[in-house]
Amino acid sequence: MIANTKKDRDSLGPDEVLCDHCTAKCCKYFALPIETPVDLEDYEFIRWYLVHDRATVFTDDDQWYIMIHTTCRHLQTDNRCGIYDTRPQICRDYTTDNCEFEDDWTYDLYFEAPEQIRQYAEAVLQLKTNGSIRSSKPNLLPVLS
């Protein structure tokens, strides 16, 4: 029986497995490196990523990544792999040595919305809007009746 109770990594007994106490974060997203943006066109590509549902962009140690928040179709309700014996090589190579079990990881930069990357690009590229370095005024939301 899987306990799925949160423990400290260092308090695990010799016969305990870290995955018995985890929420399977590693099976609920994937992140791929992307090129570091250098001009407005690059930031516009990132903005395009962010208009898609469940996509975010982050940086870690000066490397940019796109993260897709999606659960592996083989993740079972007990947070175990349903195809463990035939899982892909990337899963076989993954270890718990550097996993996000402790919840104490942070990103250097993290973008969830296209407006965030646009504002960041304006600041980094020092784009001016009407003679000001402030972000452009957002469009008003439609009035629902």
Rounded to whole angstroms, how far apart are CA atoms 50 and 44?
A: 10
pLDDT digits 0-9 by tens, 18-32: 888 888 989 999 999
Buried b / exposed e across 116-139, counting CB within 10 Å, b at 16+?
Answer: bbbbbbbeeeeeeeeeeeeeeeee
Judge residue 81's burial from the number of C-beta atoms within 10 Å of its C-beta, 0-12 exposed, 13-18 middle, 19 or more buried. middle
Q: The pTM is what?
A: 0.76
Amino acid (one-letter) located at 45: F
pLDDT digits 0-9 by tens, 71-120: 999 999 999 999 999 999 999 999 888 788 877 778 999 999 999 999 99
